[in-house]
Amino acid sequence: MASPASAMPDARNLEVYSDANRLGIYKNIFATTEVRDFGVMGLNDKISSIATNGVSWCFFDHVGFGGDSFRMGAYQYKSNLTADGWNDRISSAQVC
């Protein structure tokens, strides 16, 4: 399922992984401005590392953008969310 070589990544592109250091289940989320429930991709309370691309994203403890949250700027990478107290905790996210 290769993409055309000319395809450009969407600026809102967000990479999430179920394990630290970009390992485990991987989802490349693009062409959207929110993920209301990571459960739809099997990643509710399972994300352990994240990379943002062209925009900043906010991440939430609960589905539907509820509970505690934290923000990551554009082009940031967190190799292990345990250091931030967020390992296996994120349930939703939106561009912010």
For Ca ion, the binding residues (CB under 5 A) are: 45, 61, 89, 91
Query: Quick one: 12 or 89, whose CB is closer to Ca ion?
Result: 89
Least gap, CB of 49 to Ca ion (angstroms): 16
Rounded distance, CA 10 to CA 54, Å? 8
- Give backbone dihedrals phi and psi of 91, rounded to 5 degrees, phi first: -120, -20
Least gap, CB of 91 to Ca ion (angstroms): 4
Least gap, CB of 71 to Ca ion (angstroms): 16
- Angle CA(46)–CA(36)–CA(83) in degrees, nearest 5? 35
